[in-house]
């Protein structure tokens, strides 16, 4: 009941009481008049006194009743803070205060404290509206309706509403998955309706590794973060940037240990600082530890064509000199299509599993024969012809001087005349490109004027092994091979040993 209605009823009741009192007084006076007619003067004074008493009582009753009023004790969370004459005083103040704060913050506000009233009717009951409102202003806890983000059971921040919270979480996922917010919403609807994901998308799943929950709550307006700040908080784990001033004796590892971070954190926060950087006294180092509150885990199917490397098959050949190889069949790589399930956490690959693989082309093995025949470095003493062709100049005197060997004219390959070890391979003055073989039995052979040399010093060659190609290098008048034989250091006619 409103105060105005109650007051009107109280005044009406008071009038009725006064009317009753007047009627009682009139009745008394009438009876007294009758008595006076009988007793006359003796009773006049008594009647007059009685009438005055009744009238005075009625007047007092009216005054008392007229001054009974209702007041309301105001309680906040069960604790009395003051007395008002009407609950509307508090309700109006509360409404105005919430509207004022809402205009400042643009948020939906609520008064978190529990306000109750207790009515009391009393003669001239005291109240003080201003004192009650002042006390309420001091303790009233005005909060906003917000949505708190809970990660693994820990509250990490507050969003203005559920839509903002959902948008922030979707943006964090989008950053590491590349899946737009709208597509995430469609995927969520599809998942809810048990629809299969789009076959064209390689993304199988986008989710937070941690348990992320949202709940409604009431908090101070200062605790509610804008969407961009809340997103930054989830990604970095902190807004606070900490710096360290380098003092004598500092090192990167020491500073990292001091702040409970890693050296990698310091390098990441301070471009230009490496493990080789010389720190300077007074230098400012950013020691903020970035530890994201959430980890976006993305699972996707990735298909790629891969090479199947060919294998090499080696077979022994006892007819091929030891140390030599011969390719019988060239190898050829194959190919396959491999499908992986790749798991990424905040953009970094942490796992890769093969789901299936299909061979496109089988590899072809390379086949190589490896020589096992042991070639002795000691010659037989019987020389084979080192080249094909005809003898254009023999051993002996020629043009007034000794011709130390024989010349075999015509082109073609040059072979070792007997088993032995190469002791020289290179340019030898008038001989041009030449090779000398020591046959290990006191005999040496020399091959001169070659265009190409196919052996190197120290190599063991067998009789008939190709050691080069005929040419016309050095002091030569045409393509031919100059062939010499030395036995125990003395020149010999090659014809005595060739067969």
The predicted model gives 459-471 an average pLDDT of: 94
* Greater model confidence, 189 or 158: 158
Q: Using an 8 Å Cβ cutoff, are 370 and 320 in contact?
A: yes
**In percent, how much of the chain has pLDDT > 90?**
46
Q: What is the mean pLDDT of the chain?
A: 83
pLDDT at 144: 77
Q: What is the predicted pLDDT for the residue at 105?
A: 63
pLDDT in tens, 131-143: 988 888 877 777 7
pLDDT surpasses 50 at 74: yes
| Res. 497: pLDDT tops 90 | yes
Q: Which of 36-40, 114-118, 256-260, 321-325 has the lowest mean pLDDT?
A: 36-40
3-state DSSP of the chain: CCHHHHHHHHHHHHHHHHHHHHHHHHHHHHHHHHHHHHHCHHHHHHHHHHHHHHHHHHHHHHHHHHCEEEEEEEEECCEEEEEECCHHHHHHHHHHHHHHHHHHHCCCEEECCCEEEEEEEEECCCCCHHHHHHHHHHHCCEEEEEEEEEECCEEEEEECCHHHHHHHHHHHHHHHHCCCHHHHHHHHHHHHCCCCCCCCCCEEEEEECCCEEEEEEEECHHHECCHHHHHHHHHHCCCCCCEEECCCCCCHHHHHHHHCCCHHHHHHHCCCCCCCCCCCCCCEEECCCCCCCCCEEEEEEEEEEEEECCCEEEEEEEEEECCCEEEEECCECEEEEEEEEEEEECCEEEEEEEEEEEEEECCECEEEEEEEECCCCCCCCCECCCCCCEEEECCEEECCEEECCEEEECCCEEECCCCEEEEEEEECHHHCEEEEEECCCCEEEEEEEECEECCCCCCEECCCCEEEECECCCCCCCCEEEEEEEECCEEECHHHCEC
Between 229 and 21, the more confident residue is 229
* Confidence grade of residue 480 (pLDDT, cut at 50, 70, 90): very high
| Average pLDDT of span 282-290 | 86
Q: Who has greater pLDDT, 238 or 483?
A: 483
pLDDT band at 47 (very low <50, low <70, confident <90, very high): very low
Q: Which among 230, 261, 48 is positioned nearest to 157, based on CA atoms?
A: 230
Instruction: State the Cα–Cα distance between residues 446 and 496, nearest whole angstrom.
Output: 15
* C-beta of residue 318 within 8 angstroms of C-beta of residue 353: no
At 172, is the pLDDT very low, low, confident or very high (cuts 50, 70, 90)?
very high
Residue 165 pLDDT level (bands cut at 50, 70, 90): very high
Q: What is the pLDDT of residue 31?
A: 66
Q: Is the pLDDT of residue 474 over 60?
A: yes
Q: Residue 338: pLDDT above 80?
A: yes
């Amino acid at each position: 009941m409103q105060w105005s209605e109650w007051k009107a009823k109280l005044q009406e009741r008071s009038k009725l009481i006064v009317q009753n009192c007047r009627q009682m007084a009139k009745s008394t006076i009438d009876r007294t008049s009758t008595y006076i007619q009988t007793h006359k003067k003796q009773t006049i004074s008594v009647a007059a006194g009685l009438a005055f008493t009744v009238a005075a009582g009625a007047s007092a009753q009216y005054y008392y009743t007229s001054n009974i009023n209702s007041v309301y004790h105001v309680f906040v969370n069960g604790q009395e803070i003051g007395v008002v004459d009407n609950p509307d005083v508090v309700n109006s103040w509360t409404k105005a205060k919430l509207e004022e704060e809402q205009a400042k913050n643009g948020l939906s506000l609520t008064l978190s404290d529990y306000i109750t009233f207790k009515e009391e009717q009393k003669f001239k009951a005291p109240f003080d509206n201003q004192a009650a409102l002042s006390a309420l202003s001091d303790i009233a806890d005005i909060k906003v309706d917000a949505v708190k983000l809970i990660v693994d059971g820990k509250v990490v921040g507050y969003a203005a509403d559920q839509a903002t919270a959902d948008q922030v979480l979707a943006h964090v996922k989008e950053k590491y998955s590349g899946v737009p917010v709208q597509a995430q919403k469609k995927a969520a609807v599809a998942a809810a309706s048990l629809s299969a994901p789009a076959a064209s998308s390689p993304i199988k799943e986008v989710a937070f590794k941690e348990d992320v929950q949202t709940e409604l709550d009431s908090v101070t307006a200062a605790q509610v973060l804008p969407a961009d700040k809340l997103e930054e908080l989830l990604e970095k784990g902190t807004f606070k940037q900490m710096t360290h001033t380098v003092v004598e004796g500092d090192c990167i590892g020491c500073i990292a240990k001091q702040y409970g971070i890693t050296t990698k954190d310091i390098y990441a926060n301070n471009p230009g600082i490496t493990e080789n950087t010389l720190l300077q006294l007074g230098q400012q180092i950013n020691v903020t530890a970035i530890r994201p509150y959430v980890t976006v885990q993305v699972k996707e199917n990735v298909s790629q064509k891969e090479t199947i490397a060919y294998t090499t098959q080696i077979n022994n050949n006892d007819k091929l000199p030891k140390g030599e190889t011969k390719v019988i069949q060239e190898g050829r790589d194959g190919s396959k299509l491999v499908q992986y399930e790749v798991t990424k956490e905040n953009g970094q690959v942490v796992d890769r599993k093969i789901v299936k693989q299909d061979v496109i082309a089988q590899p072809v093995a390379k086949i190589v024969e490896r020589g096992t025949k042991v070639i002795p470095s000691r010659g037989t003493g019987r020389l084979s012809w080192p080249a094909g062709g005809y003898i254009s100049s023999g051993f002996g005197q020629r043009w007034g001087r000794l011709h130390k060997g024989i010349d075999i004219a015509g082109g073609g390959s040059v072979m070792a005349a007997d088993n032995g070890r190469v002791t020289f391979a290179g340019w030898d003055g008038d001989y041009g490109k030449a090779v000398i073989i020591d046959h290990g039995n006191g005999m040496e052979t020399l091959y001169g004027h070659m265009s190409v040399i196919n052996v190197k010093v120290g190599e063991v060659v067998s009789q008939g092994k190709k050691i080069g190609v005929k040419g016309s290098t050095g002091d030569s008048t045409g393509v031919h091979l100059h062939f010499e034989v030395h036995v125990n250091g003395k020149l010999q006619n090659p014809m005595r040993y060739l067969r």
